[in-house]
Structures are given as structure tokens and as C-alpha cells.
Amino acid sequence: MEQQQLYTVTVYSENHVGLLTQIANIFTRSFINIESLTVSASAINDVHKFTITCFSDVKALDKITKQIEKKVEVLKAYYYTEDEVISREIALFKISTEGLMAIDAIENLVNKFNAKILEVNRQYTVIEKTGVQDEIKKLYETLEPIGILQFVRSGCVSITRSKYEHLSDFRLTIDDF
């Protein structure tokens, strides 16, 4: 069995109802757990983009992306290793302001973790951190002793290290028809 590692799957599709479940089903059928999922409009007009991360291997993802592309409303699906994409997640932390003051560490937090303070009041402070999963995890561990009141983390968004959005290749081939 090939080594499992974190991959990012990007899917470009028409913006039609019901596609999300169909794509998710393809992962389910192969018993692959989706680690994170974001769906939004892409840089191309009328084209939606799914960014999905999962632990898997090349062989499985080769099959899965072809199965995804088989869906009539899907334009194209790609998969990338971590090195091939730049990925970010966003996390929001709600901490008791009192606790935060007690350790006198705000400055350090903001500078060291490159985090942002979104809101401060007497009761709580909301901190925003954008970064890779590990950075968010480290910040979480740092803040945990103070007491995290609420924590939320987004799915992953990724951009490839290639110059253009990959779908433009597909567009060229479509014009041939």
C-alpha cells in the first residue's frame, strides 16, 4: 500500500444544486474521510471551485478525480500534494479578556503568531489567525491554559504554484469541439 499523505483536491464545476453531495459521495464510496471542504465561486465566471483535503494516495486519488470528472456538471478535477499548493486556513479564538491580561502576553501573541485582534471588550477578546494547520494548532496550545471560550476553524483554501488557474487548459480543449 502506498504512503498516505495529505492531498488537496480541487474541483471546478457548474454552480448547480446537488453537486456537493454527489462529490462527497465519491469520497464516501472509497471510504476516504474528507478533512476539510470549502466551496465558493472561482476566478472564472460561473465556475465554482471545491477545495477538498484528505489523506490518501496517488492511486486512489487518480480514480476519485476521474470519477468526479465523470459527473456531467463537473468541468475538471485535480489533486495536489502539499508542496504543490499554497494553503491557508482561518481560525477564530474567543478568550476571556481578564485571562489574557493576566498573562500579559497580547503583544507577544500578535507578533509571534502574526495573529490579529478583531474585537476586545471587558468580557472577551476575539483573535483571528490565518495560517497553515500547524500554526493554528500551536496558537491553540498557547491559548489553551488561559481558557478558550470558543474556537472555530475554516476549511482549507489553496492556490497552486503554477502560474495560471489550471482550468484554463481545459477551456482550450473545449474550444476544439
Partner 1 sequence: MKKKREKNVSISGSETLLKSLLEEGVDTIFGYPGGAIMPVFDALYDYRKELNHILVRHEQGAIHAAQGYARASGKAGVVFVTSGPGATNTITGIADAMIDSTPLVVISGQVVSSLLGTDAFQEIDIVGISQPVTKWSYQIRKVDNVSWAVAQAFHIATTGRPGPVVLDFTKDAQLATTNYYYQKCHSIRSYIPSPKANPENVRQAAELINAAKRPFALVGQGVELGNAENELRSFIEKAQIPAAWTLLGASVLPSEHPLNKGMLGMHGNLAPNLKTNECDVLIAIGMRFDDRVTGNLNEYARQAKIIHFDIDPSEINKNVSVNVHVLGNVKTTLPAVESLLKTAKHEKWIESFDIVNQEEYDKVIEPEIYCNREAISMGEVVRTVADATNGDAIIVTDVGQNQMMGARYSKWKSPRSFISSGGLGTMGFGLPAAIGAKIGMPSRTVCLFCGDGGMQMCIQELGTIMQSKVKIKIIILNNKYLGMVRQWQEMFHNKRYSETPMLNPDFVKLAESYRIKARKVSKRDDLEDAVKEMLAHNGSYLLEVDVEKKGMVFPMTPAGTSVTNVILEK
Contacting residues toward partner 1, per CB under 8 A: 13-14, 18, 21-22, 25, 29, 62-63, 66-67, 69-70, 72-75, 173-174, 177
CB neighbour list of residue 64: distance below 8 Å, 6 or more residues apart: 9, 26, 27, 30, 32, 56, 77, 79
Q: By C-beta, is 21 or 111 nearer to partner 1? A: 21
Q: Closer CB to partner 1, residue 152 or residue 174? A: 174
In the complex, the smallest distance separating the C-beta of residue 65 from partner 1, rounded to whole angstroms, is 9
User: Smallest gap, in angstroms, from Cβ of residue 119 to partner 1?
Assistant: 37
Helix (H, G, I), strand (E, B) or coil at 116: strand
Cβ nearer to partner 1, comparing 72 with 152: 72
Task: Give min distance, CB of 75 to partner 1, in A.
Answer: 5
Q: Which is nearer to partner 1, 1 or 174 (CB)?
A: 174
CB of 128 to partner 1, least distance (A): 36
DSSP one-letter string for 31-77: T--EEEEEEEE-SSTTEEEEEEEEEE-HHHHHHHHHHHHHSTTEEEE
Please, what's the largest Cα pairwise distance for the chain?
67
Instruction: Output the CA–CA distances (angstroms, integers) from residue 171 to 12, 15, 21, 51, 167, in the order listed.
Output: 12, 17, 25, 20, 6
Smallest separation, CB 39 to partner 1 (Å): 16
Q: Are 26 and 52 in contact (CB under 8 A)?
A: no
The nearest distance, CB 133 to partner 1, in angstroms, is: 31
**Nearest CB to partner 1, comparing residues 25 and 114:** 25
Q: In the complex with partner 1, which residue's Cβ is closer, 107 or 176?
A: 176
SS (H, E, C) 142-172: HHCCCCEEEEEECCCEEEECCCCCCHHHHHH
